[in-house]
Amino acid sequence: MPASRPNPVPAVASTAVPATSFWLRYRSEALPAALLLWMFLACCFPLFDTDLFWHLKTGEWILQNFSIPGYDLYTFTDFDKRWIDLHWGFEVGAAILYRVGGANLLILSKAAILMLALGIGCYAGGPKLRGCQRVLCWILPAITISGRGYERPEIMTLLCLAGWLWIVTRLEKRPQLIWILPAIQVFWINCHALYILGLVVGGCYAADYIVRSYANGKLGLAPSPLDPSPSTVVRTAGVCAAAALVNPYFEQGALFPFTLFRKFTVEQDFYSQRIGEFQKPVEFLLKNGFTNLYLNAELLLWLVAALSFLWLACRGKFNVFRTLLFVGFSYLAWKASRNTNIFSLIAGFVLSENVNDIFYPASSEDHPEQPRGQFSIIASRTAAVALVLMIVAVVTGEWNRWAEKIRPFRLGEAREWFPHKAAQFMRHPGYPQRVYAANFGVASVYTYYNGPEGKVFMDGRLEVCTQQTFERFDEIGLRMTHAHPSWVELLRDKAGNLPAVMLDSRFSRGLITGVLQTPGWRLVYADPSCAVFFDDKTADQLKLPPVSPEPLKFPPKLGI
């Protein structure tokens, strides 16, 4: 018999990733990584935000008392007002970080959170985009977001908003992710009042879901979604709405965003004249022109994102979800400059999604392992060079000189920017525990060292201080500037006692001159950042001699 032949061994498909494909993938992802690195570095600048220290004080108060404030703690004008402090989660976290690592750890943590928010947003949309395309879509949002890279509760809104965008774009393939959204809402409402923006994103998604279901692939819309089911969407919407009640103030906390909304809509004219971040971007442009790098980046971003919608429309494509997002958040951006970073996150997302649909239609397949065109290679190299130059510009300080010249690349606090010594001077026994402080940065630092026993006339918490209090504050300051003695009576309490007056040396120089010229008042402390005045009667009782105003002639500057 012939010898039997051995059975051939079946060929096994190789699962190894080609070296070329791996290298292209690595090089592609290196560009977004460089953008995230730039974001982190660009946010590493000294503390100078005026609200920071009352946030830190509140966090410490919560940790000490195991309680959330329900009424105002820090002013003697609105002490009986309800205080809806939805920032309490941020404040506790910030207080712990500051206690452990001081200003440096607080800055690094803020930079990491903003980098994470940008990273999540960057990969929320545009699933087929190459690294170069992703960077081109997100470089303007990154610049704009960095312009408001402060240690404020709004950084938590950026993080949570990015989480919403990442989840809703994956629901049709992974519908179980939808149940993460209520958890995000619970976290969000206990860190920042703008938790309602998550519900806005959810409303836009629901509208898109309904329209696509009825259109069934017509009118240039994507096909009707199979997942998640309509019942799941409705149940999740109800749970997300109910999650807004999971806060220390229950329904009052849930409805509080409408109070803020009123301040930059109905009361816009009043607040925009007094608070820079409530000013409309258009008003800033009319006054200053195209001088602000971050606002210019936002304007260019809006234009590019709007053009991407037109490009899609020319191809017969339309997306309800992205259109509603872009229109709604554009409205917020043009109402107040404080919303520019939030708009930029949304605009970067819709732009990357639109670009993805333009270059990679649903009917096509993307093969990143194939050789790329010469234009794509040139674009990638150009983006890489631009990112390297941007990183070098931040580290060397050139970026700060190009921008607002107030964000040098270093940690710590802005030199002598906060009146720590003046606030500590006010801690002496027997010193007045009521203070008229201008500006709000002085009030914030005073509260950090002396509150809640020591109280100020007004601070930057617009969720507490009323418009009437703000008008009284301004009226006193106006009379003080003109050395009109009537300002004294506006500050006298029922027992005839007068508060101390603490004035910032940079923005309140007119007030300082006015108080120096008002009879019966004495300068008892002065350093480059702050002046402290007592009335003569109080100063005599405390045996405080007048001090020279000479240090006030050399106020500190940002960016040095």
3-state helix, strand, coil in the chain (%, to 5): 60, 5, 35
- Give the model's pLDDT for residue 370: 41
Q: Are residues 351 and 431 in the same domain?
A: no
pLDDT tens for 466-475 read 889 999 999 9
Per-residue confidence band for 362, with pLDDT thresholds at 50, 70 and 90: low
- How, if at all, do strands 434-438 and 455-456 pair? parallel
- Asked whether residue 522 is assigned to any structural domain, the reply reads yes
- The confidence score (pLDDT) of residue 13 equals 44
Are 311 and 189 contained in the same domain?
A: yes
**Residue 368 pLDDT grade (very low, low, confident, very high; cuts 50, 70, 90):** very low
Q: Is the pTM of this model over 0.85?
A: yes
Last residue in a domain, options 370, 386, 405:
370
Q: How confident is the model at residue 371 (pLDDT cuts 50, 70, 90)?
A: very low
Give the single-character DSSP code of 175.
Answer: G
pLDDT of residue 3: 46
Each residue's pLDDT tens digit, 95-108: 999 999 999 999 99
Three-state SS at 438: strand
φ and ψ of 523, to 5 deg = -80, 115
Q: Is residue 385 part of a domain?
A: no
- Claim to verify: residue 294 and residue 166 sit in the same structural domain: yes
Check residue 222 and give its pLDDT. Answer: 78
- The answer to whether residue 539 scores a pLDDT higher than 90 is yes
Q: Would the pLDDT of 483 be above 80?
A: yes
Q: What domain range is 458 assigned to?
A: 420-553
Q: Is 194 exposed, middle or buried (0-12, 13-18, 19+ CB in 10 A)?
A: buried
Clarify whether residues 314 and 432 are in a common domain: no
Compute φ and ψ for 504, nearest 5 degrees.
-70, 135
* Mean pLDDT, all residues of the chain: 89
**pLDDT for res 288:** 79
**Burial label, 513 (beta-carbon count in 10 A; 0-12, 13-18, 19+):** middle
Integer Cα distance of 334 and 170 in angstroms: 30
Domains of the chain: total: 2
* Residue 22 placed within a domain: no
With a pLDDT cut of 90, the percent of the chain lying above it is: 71
Whether residue 286 sits in one domain with residue 161: yes
Rounded to an integer, the average pLDDT of 264-288 is: 78
Per-residue pLDDT at 157 exceeds 60? yes
pLDDT tier at 241 (50, 70, 90 boundaries)? very high
Q: Is residue 504 part of a domain?
A: yes
Whether 492 shows a pLDDT value over 70: the answer reads yes
- Is the pLDDT score of 416 beyond 90? no
Is the pLDDT at 257 greater than 60? The verdict is yes
- Classify strands 521-527 and 530-535 as parallel, antiparallel or unpaired: antiparallel
Residue 412 in any domain: the answer is no
Tokens coding 88: 């309490």
Query: Is the pLDDT at 2 greater than 70, yes or no?
Result: no
Residues 317 and 192 in one domain: yes
Final residue in a domain of this structure, among 345, 370, 395: 370
The per-residue pLDDT for range 63-76, each reduced to its tens digit, is 999 999 999 999 99
In the chain, the percentage of residues whose pLDDT exceeds 70 is 92
- Residue-wise pLDDT for 424-456, tens only, equals 999 999 999 999 999 899 999 999 999 999 999
> Within this chain, do residues 115 and 240 fall inside the same structural domain, yes or no?
yes
Reported as a pLDDT band with limits 50, 70 and 90, residue 20 is very low
The mean per-residue pLDDT over the stretch 198-213 comes to 94
Instruction: Check residue 35 and give its pLDDT.
Output: 97
Q: Which pLDDT band, with edges at 50, 70 and 90, does 297 fall under?
A: very high
Instruction: Out of 333, 353, 370, pick the residue that ends a domain.
Output: 370
The SS3 of residue 435 is: strand
Q: Compute how many other C-beta atoms are within 10 angstroms of the C-beta atom of residue 114.
A: 25
Q: Is 126 found in the same domain as 195?
A: yes
Q: Are strands 500-504 and 455-456 parallel, antiparallel or unpaired?
A: unpaired
The pLDDT value given to residue 27: 65
Residues 356 and 424 in one domain: no
Indicate whether 441 and 549 sit together in one domain. yes
Does residue 245 lie within any of the structural domains? yes
Predicted confidence at residue 12, as pLDDT, reads: 44
> In the predicted model, what is the mean pLDDT of residues 159-166?
97
pLDDT band at 15 (very low <50, low <70, confident <90, very high): very low
Answer whether residue 45 shows pLDDT above 90.
yes
pLDDT for the residue 227: 86
Question: Which pLDDT does position 556 carry in this prediction?
Answer: 86
Whether 160 maps to a domain, the answer reads yes
Same structural domain, 294 and 430: no
Q: Is residue 543 part of a domain?
A: yes
Same domain, 317 and 447: no
DSSP 57-81: HHHHHHHHHTS---B--SBSSSTTS
Collect all residues with Cβ–Cβ distance below 8 Å to 429 and sequence separation of at least 6.
Answer: none
- Which pLDDT score, from 0 to 100, does residue 369 have? 39
Using only the alpha carbons of the chain, give its radius of gyration.
Answer: 28
Mean pLDDT of 535-539: 96
